[in-house]
Amino acid sequence: MKIFGIDPGSERTGYGCVEMLGSRHHLVICGAISAPSGATFPEKLQHIHAGLEALLARHRPDAVAIENIFHARNVRSALKLGHARGVALLAASEAGLEVFEYTPAEVKRAVVGYGRAEKPQIQQMTKLLLGLDAVPTPHDAADALAIAICHLHRSTGAIAERSAAEKPASPLKSWRDYRPERLRPARGGGAECRAAAPPSARERGWAACAKAPASVAEATRRRGPASSKK
C-alpha cells in the first residue's frame, strides 16, 4: 500500500509518499512545493496544483491523506490555507484517488501516541518509523510523511479488525473442543422454556439424591421392623 501525504500551505506545501511492505514503512519521496518569489496568490495556487498533479502521476499512490484545517492565526490565514487545501484536493480528485482527511491531533496520536505532541517529537518518530538517518526536511515534508503514516496505521488496523470478524471458525479437532450452548430459560419464561434445556448429569444426580430417602423408607416398610439383637 502506497499513501501520498499532503501538508497544505499557501507559501509552502509539504508532501511525502510512504509505502508499506509487510509491517515496515518505506520512504518513497518527500519534499515541499514552494511558490516562486514575487508570484501572486493565484499563481502560487496554480504552482501548487501543477506540482502535486505531476507528483501523483509519477508515483501513482493508492490514496491521498491530507491534513484537515484545525486552527489558524487569523481569518486571513485560514482563508489562504483553505485555498491551498482546495487545489490539493482538486489534484487528488483529478488523479482519481480517494482522499482521507485527518486533524493534527489524530496524526499525533497515530504517530507519537499523544495528541498534544510537539513537532520535534513527530519528526523524531517519523524518522524512526521510516528508518532514516536524519529527520526529514523541511518540517512541512516531515508533517506530510506523518499524515501518510497516520493513514497507514488507521487503514491497516481497520483491515485487521475486518479480517478477524470475517474469519470462519476453525473446525473441531477433538471431542474435548465441543462446547454445546445450552438453552437458558428467558426472564419470566414458562415451563416450555425450562423444558427446552435437557438436564445435565449434575442435575440428574441431584434428582436421584432427592428420591433416595423415599426409596429407603419404602424398602423398610416392606421388610418390616428390624429385630433387636440380644
What is the set of active-site residues? Answer: 7, 67, 140
8-state DSSP, 31? E
Query: How many Å apart are CA 44 and CA 70, to the nearest integer?
Result: 22
Contact 151/65 with Cβ under 8 angstroms? yes
The cell numbers describing 169, all together, are 471458525
Query: How many Å apart are CA 185 and CA 123, to the nearest integer?
Result: 59
8-state DSSP, 17? E
Give one word for 222, left, alpha or beta, with left for phi > 0 and alpha for psi -120 to 50.
alpha
Beta bridge partners of 190: none
Query: How many Å apart are CA 185 and CA 125, to the nearest integer?
Result: 55
Strand order in the sheet with 24-34: 24-34, 12-21, 2-7, 63-67, 98-102
Peptide bond before 138: cis, by omega within 30 degrees of 0? yes
Query: How many Å apart are CA 82 and CA 8, to the nearest integer?
Result: 9
Beta bridge partners of 24: 21
Query: How many Å apart are CA 95 and CA 215, to the nearest integer?
Result: 88
